Amino acid sequence: MHETSTDDTTDFGYERVRKEEKAGRVREVFDSVASRYDLMNDLMSGGMHRLWKRFTIELSGVRPGQTVLDIAGGTGDLAAKFSQRVGPDGHVILADINAAMLSVGRDRLIDKGALNNISVSQADAQFLPYADNSIDCITIAFGLRNVTDKALALRSMYRILKPGGRLLVLEFSKPTSPLLSQAYDAYSFSALPFMGKLITNDADSYRYLAESIRKHPDQETLLEMVEDAGFVDCRYHNMTGGIVAIHRGVKG
Amino acid sequence: MQHDPAIIAGVTLALETAINETISLSLGTREALAQKCGACIAIYCSSPEVSVYFFVNDSGTVSLQNYSEAEITVSLSGSWRDFQTVAAANDAAGALVNSNISVTGDTAALIEIQQIVSDMDIDWEAPLVASLGHVAGHQLANALRGFWRWRTDSHRRISRQVSEFIIEEGRLSPSKHEIDAFLSDVDDIVLKVDRLESRIKRLQRQLKPASEPS
Ligand SMILES: C[S@@+](CC[C@H](N)C(=O)[O-])C[C@H]1O[C@@H](n2cnc3c(N)ncnc32)[C@H](O)[C@@H]1O
């Protein structure tokens, strides 16, 4: 590789772009897929994403009355589930940097009649606009890999969590077996953009997704990053052969 | 051995759906269970190592989880084989006492819930009569009653149906409607590509005489 990466560039899939540019490029990707995002999720993961999320919710240990932030929450899958968990005395914030995703999410939550204890807010994971020590649990599902400065985002999450509060990062990771890894590469680099093309008429966005998955830190690296942000009791669970992993950290 | 949490979650979801379906078809069961709302029965199975938590909701349905930090009313621990033996026995309560399964917590609650479950009277008739009318509905209900008895007798029932439940009941895969929409989009694109191809050919034909005089 002969890329001359300086400090002010960052990954955009396999390309390198200027740091200021990445957020805009990521936004374009999600703008273009927002309306059909849920269908794509089901088709691409064969429905598995629902099980990954189900286990994430269980690991959260969230109880009635608590406050939960789902950042990079997109169309609100997790927020809807948390809304039932925390009940009328609790509060769920569905936050995302992208207005198009949030508006699809808001419509879906209204359809489900789930809005009473949920608020929807546009926010960047790196600069969370919430008070210190105010949140019981933060989840970020398939979102961290899109964030320009992941360490900054993790520190920002740490800041707003209450002591004893929990962070859960659900993200694509590194398959544990080489065979699975190859099959998965073939799938994500050819089948995925192809399906993206058919459904949302946007193969490039899904190529970006495949590339960003490859560029995302593996299990151990992400675990270190979570620890570096100050979290304690950090651990991860592999799911579906390590295609995805849930990392958990607690604010001490 | 550690199992893949996603697979366990899938099986658990299928089980949850099956149980709630059954509860909703059984007269009075939801009301009876709702009385026990808040109760949590934990099953800790060794070899294979799996935990399942059964929560009774206030609506009389149950939610299943594989991980929980909530307070547990009563827990049962044993091997898969122990649980299988108890589940297959005619007198489950008697079999439990004589098994290797250890029970901790509020055993009275366990017995009450077990009572509700064994009293379950599956009513296929009401929903069927409502949708099909008297004669057909009644006949179908009779057939289903026989089928249900046969199904309850079969231990293999759950595993055989897990995959169907995952797909159909758990709504884990896209609905027919979503797939139809997807396929019609594919048809659309195919048509557009066909049209584009013929347009390109036409253009090529038009361009040829102009670009090949040399
Ligand atoms: C793949 S989607 C995941 C959505 C949802 N959490 C799910 O699991 O279905 C990634 C989301 O991350 C959001 N995102 C990207 N960068 C972000 C940032 N810096 N802060 C907050 N959200 C961001 C995108 O707008 C997009 O909605």
Ligand 1 center to A70 CA (angstroms)? 10
**Angle of helix A19-33 versus helix A192-200 axis, rounded to 10:** 60
- Interchain CB contact of A84 with B (< 8 Å): no
Instruction: State which residue of chain A sits closest to B9, comparing Cα positions.
Output: A51
Out of A51, A52, A198, name the one closest to residue B189 (CB): A198
A116-135 pLDDT per residue, tens: 899 999 999 999 999 999 99
pLDDT at B161: 43
Instruction: Residue B58: count other Cβ atoms within 10 Å of its Cβ.
Output: 11
Report which residue type is found at B52: V
Ligand 1 center to A113 CA (angstroms)? 23
pLDDT grade, residue A221 (50/70/90)? very high
B135-166 pLDDT per residue, tens: 666 666 665 555 444 444 443 444 444 444 44
Domain borders along chain B are 5-118, 125-211
pLDDT at B131: 55
Ligand 1 binding pocket includes A171 (Cβ within 6 Å):
no
Query: Which run of H or E residues covers position B127?
Result: helix B125-132
* Cα A135 to Cα A59, A69, A93, A217, A227, distances in angstroms: 16, 7, 10, 26, 19
Q: Which two tokens stand for residue B99?
A: 């098994």
Give B3's DSSP letter. P
ipTM above 0.90, yes or no: no
Q: Which sign, positive or negative, has the C-alpha torsion A15, A21, A25, A26?
A: positive
Question: Are residues A237 and A67 in contact, defined by beta-carbon separation less than 8 angstroms?
Answer: no
Q: In what order do the strands lie in the sheet with B40-46?
A: B62-65, B50-56, B40-46, B74-79, B102-105
Report which residue type is found at A219: Q
Ligand 1 center to B176 CA (angstroms)? 28
A31-44 pLDDT per residue, tens: 777 777 777 677 66
For residue A43, list chain B residues with Cβ-Cβ distance below 8 A.
174, 182
Question: Residue A45's closest CA among B104, B78, B10, B184?
Answer: B10
CA distance B114 to B107: 10
Q: Which two tokens stand for residue B198?
A: 């013929």
Ligand 1 binding pocket includes A76 (Cβ within 6 Å):
no
Out of A55, A238, A244, name the one closest to residue B9 (CB): A55
Q: What is the mean pLDDT of residues A59-80?
A: 95
Report which residue type is found at A109: L
For residue B185, list chain A residues with Cβ-Cβ distance below 8 A.
198-199
Which residues make Cβ contacts (< 8 Å) with residue A212, sequence separation at least 6? Answer: A11, A12, A13, A145, A146
Greater confidence (B46 vs A179) lies with B46
Question: Are residues A52 and A58 in contact, defined by beta-carbon separation less than 8 angstroms?
Answer: no
| Terminal Cα distance for chain B, rounded | 76
Ligand 1 binding pocket includes A138 (Cβ within 6 Å):
no
Provide the H-helix boundaries in A97-218.
99-111, 150-160, 178-186, 192-200, 203-215
**B74-79 and B40-46 as β-strands: parallel, antiparallel, unpaired?**
parallel
pLDDT at B33: 93
Q: Which residues of chain B have pLDDT under 70?
A: 1-2, 121-194, 197, 208-214
Choosing from A97, A109, A244, A246 the residue with most ligand 1 atoms within 8 A of its CB, the one to mutate for a pocket test is: A97
Q: How near does any CA of chain A get to the CA of B196, in Å? A: 16
Ligand 1 binding pocket includes A30 (Cβ within 6 Å):
yes
pLDDT at B194: 66
For residue A52, list chain B residues with Cβ-Cβ distance below 8 A.
6
Greatest mean pLDDT among A19-28, A174-183, A220-229? A220-229
- Check CB contact under 8 Å for B9 and A43: no
pLDDT at B168: 47
pLDDT grade, residue A81 (50/70/90)? very high
Q: Which two tokens stand for residue A2?
A: 């002969």
Which residues make Cβ contacts (< 8 Å) with residue B2, sequence separation at least 6? Answer: B49
Backbone angles phi, psi at A218, to 5 degrees: -80, 180
Q: Which two tokens stand for residue A170?
A: 């659900």
CA distance A155 to A138: 12
* Cα A14 to Cα A17, A174, B116, distances in angstroms: 10, 17, 59
**B50-56 and B40-46 as β-strands: parallel, antiparallel, unpaired?**
antiparallel
pLDDT at B48: 76
pLDDT at B143: 59
pLDDT at A125: 97
Size of interface A-B (CB pairs under 8 A): 55
Q: How near does any CA of chain B get to the CA of A39, in Å? A: 7
Average pLDDT, rounded, for chain A:
86
Q: What is the mean pLDDT of residues A2-14?
A: 63
Which ligand 1 atom is nearest residue A140's CA? 6
Q: Which two tokens stand for residue A225?
A: 């990053």
Note the CATH number of domain B5-118.
Answer: 3.30.1050.10
Question: Are residues B22 and B173 in contact, defined by beta-carbon separation less than 8 angstroms?
Answer: no
pTM over the 0.80 mark? no
pLDDT at B37: 92
pLDDT at B125: 60
pLDDT at A4: 40
- Check CB contact under 8 Å for B182 and A48: no
Name the CATH superfamily for A9-176+206-250.
Vaccinia Virus protein VP39 (3.40.50.150)
Ligand 1 center to B83 CA (angstroms)? 43
CA distance B43 to B23: 20
